[in-house]
Every structure is written in structure tokens, then in C-alpha cells.
Structure 1
Amino acid sequence: MSGASRARPERQPSLDNPRRPFLPVILAVGGSVSSTYNTTIMADAPVTLRTRKFIRNPLLARKQMVVDVLHPNRANVSKDELREKLADLYKSNKDQVSVFGFRTQYGGGKSTGFAMVYDSQEALKKFEPHYRLVRIGAASKIEKPSRQQRKQRKNRSKKFRGTAKTKGPKKSKD
């Protein structure tokens, strides 16, 4: 046995081998690709909302909750659509609802995030952060120079003393 080598029988490829699964071949016929998978997009597929950790917060004039959105056969649900559905659910106006922090679960079909339903539009504007008000269109974005431009201006002003910092450099006499 020490010098003899055993010949292995030649293996035939099998279709039921778990290590190498059989994959269907996608054929291009007449310029179009045919596939065995259904790729239709269902934008009007049903969406289920479930709320957890519901808290009534009278100091901030709102109801706050964690929202689980079940959306099978759909990639995701827009925040605007979620605001409409939550407003209907809590008998409120869409302008009084704020949603944020949504994460889609791995594999899709479920997303989780936070929602706040304010008692009034004034309470929303008073307590919501400005960037979220800008997102939903309740406030306008403050236009300011870019961060790099602000830093360059700050560093240029370091070269001057006293009131020259606010006035700018002196004009040279020619």
C-alpha cells in the first residue's frame, strides 16, 4: 500500500449537489432579457404601521412613539407618506407630524423609526429642531457662506489688530 496509488473514479456533475447548486441560465432573446424572477415594482403595495413605546408628553405638547413599518413587496415607504398615515391614525393634521430616524431591517420588508405627533403647528415649530422643520417644509434654510470660506475669513482677520479686523485691510497709497 505504501507505493500503490488508488485511482479515484471520475465524478459526474450532479444537479442536486448542495455545494454547487444548479442556477438557471438567463438567456437573451431578441434583445430582451428573460428571467425566472418577478421584478415588478409595487409602489401601491399595502403598508402596515405598528406603534410601540407610546408616550404622551404634555410638557412638549406631543405624542411620541417608535413606529414599525411593515412594507413587504416594497423597498421602502417615503416619510411624507408615513406622515399622512400617522396623521390619519392619530386624528391629526399632516403638518403636525414629524418622523425621523428610520432604518430598514436587513432583508427588507420592515423599517423602524421615531414619530412625534404635536398638538398644534405652533408646538411643532417651537420644539422641533430647525433642520427637521426644513426637511418637512415648515421653515426655510438659512443661507450662509461655506465652512471653508468662514475659516478663511477668520484666518485673514488674524493678520490685523484692533478695529482693522472689522473694517478690513487699509488701502495702500499709490
Structure 2
Amino acid sequence: MELEKKLGNKGKTISVSEDVSVTILDEKLNKLLKRIELELYIDHIRSGTPSRKDVQKIVASIYGVSEDRVIVKNILSHYGRGSSKAYVHIYEDISLARLVEPRYIFKRLGLEQ
């Protein structure tokens, strides 16, 4: 499985810009659904909550996959703290994602009209 080779980033902190850093809190391989399930902590003290598209680009660059295979489930901001948690799935194939994920998620990410 191609995704197994991409694991091993749990606990790493990646500085995205001067104002934003991402820490990978949890990383699981779901063999049945052929996806990686991520829990991210995003520190954005001097800026607003990053958009789904921004998180999608960041995760795609960290894991070296195309952006259309990255599905951002949700981003939960902590009030008054300048930090958020994000839950993300990375699929081996976008056709698998279309079978499992709700259609509105694709609309939010701009992957479907």
C-alpha cells in the first residue's frame, strides 16, 4: 500500500510560515478504507483560522500527495487562543473518497460543483 510509506510524521511540528505552525498529533492508517486519518494542531496566533483550502495545501505538501486526495473533515478553533485542531483524511485514490465521504465535503473543498 502506497500510503504506508508516508507514515511516520506523528509528533512533528512543521513551520508553515512566520505566523503558522502545524503539529501532527495523531496519524493512523485505515487499511479497510485505504486512507490515513490525521489529527492536527494548528498554531496561528497572529492570523485567523486557516481555511480548509489552506489546510489541504499544507497537508498535501507535508505528505507529498496531490491536493484532491486530501479531505479536510473539520477545523475546530479554540476561542481566544489562536490555535485550532483539524481532522483530515488522505485517500490512496480519490474514487474511494467519493464512495465514503459525504458530497457536501467535496463542495466545501471546491472539488465538485
Both structures adopt the same fold (TM-score exceeding 0.5) = yes
Q: Which ranges in structure 2 are unaligned for 5 or more consecutive residues?
A: 1-16
Indicate yes or no: 2:93 matched with 1:139.
Answer: no
Does the 8 A contact of 1:53 with 1:66 survive in 2?
Answer: yes
Does the 8 A contact of 2:52 with 2:109 survive in 1?
Answer: no
TM-score normalised to the size of structure 1?
A: 0.52
TM-score normalised to the size of structure 2?
A: 0.77
Which one has a larger percent helix, Structure 1 or Structure 2? Answer: 2
Pick the aligned partner of 2:63 from 61, 65, 90: 90
Does the 8 A contact of 1:125 with 1:138 survive in 2?
Answer: no
Q: Which residue of the partner structure matches residue 129 of structure 1?
A: 102
Q: Which ranges in structure 1 are unaligned for 5 or more consecutive residues?
A: 1-43, 141-174
Which one has a larger percent strand, Structure 1 or Structure 2? Answer: 2
Pick the aligned partner of 1:103 from 76, 89, 96: 76
Runs of 4+ in structure 1 over 3 Å off: none
Q: Which has the larger radius of gyration?
A: 1
Q: Which residue of the partner structure matches residue 117 of structure 1?
A: 90
1:45, distance to aligned residue in structure 2 (A):
4.5
In the alignment of these two chains, the number of paired residues is 97
Indicate yes or no: 2:52 matched with 1:79.
Answer: yes
RMSD, matched Cα: 1.5
Q: Percent identity?
A: 23
Indicate yes or no: 2:36 matched with 1:63.
Answer: yes
Structure 2 CA distance, aligned partners of 1:91 and 1:111? 23
Indicate yes or no: 2:27 matched with 1:54.
Answer: yes
